[in-house]
Amino acid sequence: MTAVKKFARWEIGLESGHVEQVSEAVVVRLASGRYEARRAKSCLVAPEAGDKVLCAIEPEGVYVLAVLEGREGAPTKLAADGDLELQARGGQVAICASQRVDIASGGGVAVTSAEVHVRAAKGSVAIEQLGFFGRLVQAEVTKVALVAQEVDSRLTRLTQRVKRVFRFVEELDQTRAGAVDLRAESMIGIRGENAVISARVLAKIDGEQIHIG
């Protein structure tokens, strides 16, 4: 294999060539020889073996300025050493794809904004632990299906307005309250194998007709 060429200090210029190897350094084959090059900070596209690149030859070394052409079918990878920040002063930033967009992080993902809008035909969220803190939640849905082992709620007030309510409890249904007021416009039916009504002070049954037995 041809050794990497050591350039002289008077060699300054621009040359195009192809990437032969990518490791800690980028080995490029140019018209003037074979060099170990470094990627310029402005070259965000990571060069891969086989790519056609534009290089600057300077006394300090050879720099890959841009990737001119990539291998057919190979993805274009944007890479930077250290932190990378995208900023649009006074404008917008849009990320568009005809198929899908993936965001992956080994640490955390933070979203800070005055408003957040998410629109999709279908969605799924898988979170092992979720904490939500907010002042107001408004939701309009056609159907909600919830499957859970335990549900604990601590509320100051709960108001529900529904047309029909069906509850099926296999074991125990217990209510403890300071006062319970049950009212029905037509009928209240209480049925059970055993029924016990007890009062510490007063038990009262009032009606135009009372049938016992």
pLDDT at 11: 55
**Sequence-distant (≥ 6) Cβ neighbours of residue 59 within 8 angstroms:** 9, 12
The residue extents of the domains of the chain are 13-69
The answer to whether residues 86 and 52 touch, using CB atoms and an 8 Å cutoff, is no
Report d(CA 69, CA 43) in Å as an integer: 13
Query: What single-letter amino acid sits at 143?
Result: K
pLDDT at 20: 93
H-type alpha helices, 43-198: none
Pair of tokens at residue 106: 């080994």
Report the predicted TM-score, pTM, of the whole model to 2 decimal places.
Answer: 0.61
Pair of tokens at residue 127: 């979170």
The answer to whether residues 29 and 55 touch, using CB atoms and an 8 Å cutoff, is no
Report d(CA 66, CA 3) in Å as an integer: 24
**CA dihedral angle for residue 39, residue 41, residue 42, residue 46, rounded to 10 degrees:** 40
Each residue's pLDDT tens digit in the chain (213 positions)? 444 555 554 456 899 999 999 988 899 999 888 999 999 999 999 999 999 999 998 888 899 999 999 888 888 888 888 888 888 998 899 999 888 889 988 888 999 989 999 998 888 999 989 898 988 989 998 999 999 999 999 999 999 999 999 999 999 999 999 999 999 988 888 888 898 989 999 999 888 888 887
DSSP 163: S
CATH number 2.40.50.140 is the correct assignment for the domain at 13-69: yes
The sign one gets for the Cα dihedral 139, 144, 149, 152 is positive
63: buried, middle or exposed (CB in 10 Å: 19+, 13-18, 0-12)?
Answer: buried
pLDDT at 5: 52
pLDDT at 3: 47
